[in-house]
Structure 1
């Protein structure tokens, strides 16, 4: 990676507070472009235009993301005086439609919960941890990284709220249900003390449970609950949290705060999910539906 792209990534981390996963994604896009063009600070507009052909087999959303990364880099390069021109206009600009998020039904969530509660009855650490993870994903709408990286000190004592560090290091308060608090207390009573770790869900190496392992645990639980594992993930449970709250009458601004969205436009996608559900309901249940 060139000195210019490293400086750009340093800027994202220092000035914008970009999260580790975001920085890794930017780094991959920049490294891939440099493999084709060399030092991006010196790439000509004609060279940049060739990327459209190299990306032709990629999904429009992927092309849009890569183009966005390079546009930001070239803007930064101009501001820093490394280039006099901005070749961003030569980048492809595919039209993408944002897909509606996958959402679990109330019955599917209930099936997951019932299975997790059944397995937690044994009192074994694995079962209790699994129940807490599920309760926090669906009951508080946490992102996978936010959940696995929670410190023990974040566990609420008196107030039914927990402080979560989200994207870009932004902190927010989210509610913890009585069910989740009860599960948390049971988990803390059996949580491994060795090796020492400050994390609520420690790994054997003293760090925290990985995002990959969290994905695996949920899919394995889904299979045991008789659900299709391919449709279950931490983010799907976060979507279910948001959609079910909205169905219950939650205010969109409140939902934005709970989810940690910087822009209300990101939260508004859930209004489309709810609208799609209402259309489906009318088509299925209206007296004229079968005429």
Structure 2
């Protein structure tokens, strides 16, 4: 497959895809390249039968339907690129049947569980816990992706010269470099201000890169890593008396969206706050809300309560 690098350059330049997506594209295409070498077929001679054979191979190797669909989607984009550049005349992916899968509903925490987690760390003097508390407050108040949270820079979060002031709204770049505004509540602002007072403790002796990031650390990236934040969050859940298997950065983001919907927020507003490019991605929260309504009906409607029937 001789046009992979060209395709990746196009995707980066014209579509502005994120680095992780670019890595995923390259991995998918290299996997397919290995398959073509095994069946001794050139990329421009691939047929729909070849694609179906590849899908069957992936399935037999235990690859989940969702992952298979992603890999085939990458191939579809790749062959569309080949057509646009006049390297190929048709897309062999278009008429294949993809494996079916059900969208897994996102896990969410209850409002009471969120309060338990937040209140547990609200009154503490440990600088590590003050930082963690600020991060938990911020992600639940804004619905930030964990990658967006950890890569926030000091200039994103504060304004002013000698006396730094935490912003109540700021811009963040999401997937594909798409920029959106984030607004935080007063409680989150207070937690972030408390962290800002001791932030220098995490910057001493660190590189200039670490000083640039708001949640700086000694990691090679200069900021707290996704893995470290997830581990600290699990520890916080245990100490708060919560089930750690139901507490993660992604669950906090899901909880933010679900609780907004329960409170009556418009789905389009939630879409904008989450940074979803397609409303269909946001609509999964309506299914969560439907399940919540069904459970409420079953528990409280007089004709649903067996002892009254």
**Contact 1:41 1:83 (C-alpha < 8 Å) held by counterparts:** no
Alignment TM-score, normalising by the size of structure 2: 0.87
Gaps of 5+ in 1: none
CA distance in 1 between counterparts of 2:286 and 2:42 reads 40
Distance 1:167 1:206 in 2: 19
Deviation at 1:131, TM superposition (A): 0.4
Distance of aligned partners of 1:40 and 1:8 in 2 relative to their CA distance in 1, 3 Å threshold: farther
For the aligned residue pairs, the C-alpha RMSD in angstroms reads: 1.9
Residues 67, 92 of structure 1: 8 Å contact kept = no
Alignment partner for residue 244 of structure 1, among 242, 247, 259? 259
Q: Does 2:276 correspond to 1:261?
A: yes
Task: State the match for 1:97 in structure 2.
Answer: 102
Name the structure 1 match of 2:12: 13
Query: Does the CA contact (< 8 Å) of 1:49 and 1:90 recur in 2?
Result: no
Question: Contact 1:41–1:82 at 8 Å: present in 2 too?
Answer: no
Corresponding residue for 2:132?
130
Counterpart for residue 162 of structure 2: none
Partner of 1:103, secondary structure, is coil
Q: Which residue does the alignment assign to 1:172?
A: 180
Deviation at 1:43?
5.1
CA–CA separation in structure 1 for the residues paired with 2:23 and 2:94: 25
Which residue, out of 168, 171, 193, partners 2:203? 193
The count of corresponding residues between Structure 1 and Structure 2 is: 287
Superposition deviation, residue 53 in structure 1? 2.1
Higher mean C-alpha deviation, range 223-232 or range 137-146: 223-232
User: Offset at 1:144?
Assistant: 0.5
Give 5+ residue unaligned stretches, structure 2: 159-164
Measure how far apart 1:105 and its partner are: 0.8
**Bigger shift: 155-164 or 242-251?**
155-164
1:76 corresponds in structure 2 to 81
Q: Which residue of 1 aligns with 2:192?
A: 184
Give the secondary-structure state (helix, strand or coil) at the position aligned to 1:50. Answer: helix
Please give the TM-score of this superposition, normalised by the length of structure 1: 0.92
SS at 2:170's partner residue?
strand
Q: CA deviation at 1:89?
A: 4.1
User: After superposition, what is the alpha-carbon deviation per residue over 1:133-155, rounded to whole angstroms, capped at 9, x for unaligned?
Assistant: 10011111100011000000111
Residues 131 and 12 (structure 1), Cα distance of their counterparts in 2 relative to 1, 3 Å cut: same
